A and B are shown apart, each in its own frame.
Chain A
Amino acid sequence: MSIRAELKYKIMKDYGAPVLMAFQNVRRRKPRPTPAAFGSPLDSNQRLKEILSRHYFLSRYAPGVKKVAWVTSGAPVELLRAFDFYTIYPENHSALVGAKKQGADYCGIAEGDGFSQDLCSYARIDLGHMLSGKTPAGKLPKPDLLFCSNNICQTVLYWYKAIAHELDIPLIHFDAPFVTTEQTEADINYMAQQLQDMIPILERVSGRVFYLNIFEEILERSMETSKTWGAILDAMKAQPAPMTIFDAFGHLAPIVSLRGLPVAQDYYHILMDEINTRVTQGIGAISDERYRLIWDNIAIWYKVRFLATFFAERKMNFVTATYTNAWAETTGYLDVKDPWRSMAKTYGQIILNNNLKHRLDLMKGMIKTYAVDGMVMHSTRSCKPYSVGQFDLRKAITADLDLPAVILDADIADERVWSEQQIQTRLEAFCETLEGSKYG
């Protein structure tokens, strides 16, 4: 590790980043006017932007100071933090590209290189980024290590294998057996053992020694952060809900990609406070919340604004989502006193690694506790584990709970998969049913 790189990183962290953030604040002084359908935006948005810009900005000074790891959203990152890796979340980055409506460009690069158009667009965007170095975040460091877990999908394993091969770097894979009924002892032991097997490899790649107490501290922090996130989502039970799920899609970024770091922990306290104040004062995210909705599946990143406005104008607010819930749902299993096995339980049972009976019960529970009136399911071309089974989930839910529901065919980040007319028609029909069902 060079002293100069370290110094530079430190300077950038302590001085460069704050200056940049201040500069950005100046540049952004004139925010986009909020349409009348929405209440005033959360103050925390500003802080969120700062944190994320800083994260991406600092990453370019990381090489030479910290080892860089690319990590999947469901991987047990706490272990990596114990070795002080600078972590980048390609899924998060791909979502960012998607939100900027540049998904098709990046996908095109990967497709031109031989990756099929039928693959997950997060993967294609990331591979496009890897092949071209392009990114809307300025510049991203090359990874020294890849860390993935198939607890969200097998796709990430295939995808990270491709990167590992291209860049010739080590890939650590955390194999999380799918839970068909419930986790077995064997599953838990297997995962716990894998985590411990990783330590020597991580020590070698990072050049640092593993200290259990540091790891436990990180685990503790991560746990606390997830719980705060869970509490924030819980606060959405209030009527009117203090934020929309589309806000939450944004506020999700730190829990996904900065989990286990103080910055994320602090951030959610700020957000929590603001949300609580809103709840006490009865302030809603949209001006007039008449209908409450649940969202299923990942966001349609290139249409978040379109959808948010469409629903807000009709006095409809998304108050819960299976997606945002995923980073709070299984935290209860974490136990600092039994780190390995409890991580196996936490990471092995997250929604996408769990059977559809579990998902159905979970969704029904959410619909009840959040007083939901209707359901919007995004059937995403990219994601098999999230989408296969949705038709029957919908059937079961609408039959049991007599809840209007609509399925939107789209994609998470490839804006070419979008037919505005078709979607608009479907959405309008859905709204008509919803309005009819509640007051008809």
Chain B
Amino acid sequence: MADLYFSGVDVGSLSTDVSIIDHGGKVLSEIVIPTGVNGSEAAEQAFNAALKLADLTRDSITGITATGYGRASVAFATGKTTEISCHGVGAHHLFPKTGTVIDIGGQDSKVIQIDRQGRMLDFTMNDKCAAGTGRFLEVMANRLDLNLDELSSPLNIEGDSAPISSTCTVFAESEVISLLAKNTPRKEIVHGLQRSIVNRIWSMVTSIGIEGEVTLTGGVAHNKGLVALLEEKLGLTLNIPENPQTVGALGGAHIARRTYQNSLEADSI
């Protein structure tokens, strides 16, 4: 068989991610760039960069799945699938025993239940409010004059945390302001914020239930403090992918691969 390659292009609200795999599923390249204002341009750019990294040309890619918010704007895609299915498939390929995927993305967080083949069985997403998403952390980081990395500093779970009870970003922001006014140490506020996100995620998880291993995807998976808190709250160890941001793109690439294989089977009948 000639060499076949597949790609997934995930145009998210914050970043655009591309993954290229070969027909055996081996990852050849992964790229993450900021989406900026123009999703289709970002897709174009990221895809070219990924091709270059894998040392491939455009024609050599057999199937391309577009996913993410901007999935409709990826002109060169051969198919499109929601990021929900893609995260499920991606997580499945990285950690085959995954039953539950928690994805904390920029605009929204989701909890996805998948079966042993990586097919999505059920999912839930946060409601309109940004609390419990990457965006929430970003707003708060601004308030605290911290950059996102500082916000993610690993914390001692036992440490004090300032109480942030509000579940709404706007309310939480005003709580943070009044905590700052009271000279509450930033570390405690950060801890409190992480706890509030974790509570939010936890209630989404409980509404769906946990099956199998749990894999965490999305940029927030880099946030060590948050991961530790989440693990404590769920009482288990999370699978953390090496590149948590590209799991959706990876899933997309696998879906393109599967679609191609299915079409071969259909032809041979």
Q: Does B203 count as interface, using CB distance less than 8 angstroms?
A: yes
Q: Does A104 count as interface, using CB distance less than 8 angstroms?
A: yes
CB neighbours of A420 from chain B (8 A): 178
The answer to whether A421 touches B206 (Cβ under 8 A) is no
Instruction: Please classify the interface of chain B as helix (H, G, I), strand (E, B), loop, or mixed, using the class held by over half of its residues.
Output: helix
CB neighbours of A436 from chain B (8 A): none
Q: Does A108 count as interface, using CB distance less than 8 angstroms?
A: yes
Q: Does B202 count as interface, using CB distance less than 8 angstroms?
A: yes
The answer to whether A421 touches B199 (Cβ under 8 A) is no
One digit per residue, 1 when the CB lies within 8 angstroms of any chain A CB and 0 when it does not, for chain B 13-48 equals: 000000000000000000000000000000000000
CB neighbours of B175 from chain A (8 A): 419
Total A-B contacts with CB atoms under 8 angstroms apart: 28
CA distance A117 to B207 in the complex (A): 12
Interface size class of B (residues with CB under 8 A): 10 to 19
Q: Does A112 count as interface, using CB distance less than 8 angstroms?
A: yes
The answer to whether A112 touches B174 (Cβ under 8 A) is no
CB closest chain-B residue, reference A414: B165
Knowing A416-B165, A416-B166, A416-B167, the reply to whether A113 touches B178 (Cβ < 8 A) is no
Q: Does B177 count as interface, using CB distance less than 8 angstroms?
A: yes
Q: Which residues between 71 and 122 of chain A lie within 8 Å of chain B, taking CB atoms?
A: 104, 108, 111-114, 117
Q: Which residues between 132 and 178 of chain B lie within 8 Å of chain A, taking CB atoms?
A: 165-167, 171, 174-175, 177-178
CB neighbours of A108 from chain B (8 A): 199, 203
CA distance A422 to B175 in the complex (A): 10
The answer to whether A104 touches B165 (Cβ under 8 A) is yes
The answer to whether B202 touches A419 (Cβ under 8 A) is no
CA distance A418 to B199 in the complex (A): 18
B11 shortest CB reach to chain A, Å? 31
CB neighbours of A421 from chain B (8 A): 174, 177-178
CA distance A421 to B207 in the complex (A): 33
Q: List 11 A-B contacts (CB under 8 A).
A: A108-B199, A108-B203, A112-B203, A112-B207, A113-B207, A415-B165, A416-B166, A416-B167, A419-B174, A421-B174, A421-B178
Measuring CB to CB, which residues of chain A are less than 8 angstroms from any residue of chain B? 104, 108, 111-114, 117, 415-416, 418-422
In the complex, the 5 A-B pairs of residues with the closest C-beta atoms, listed nearest first? A112-B206, A416-B165, A112-B203, A111-B203, A421-B178
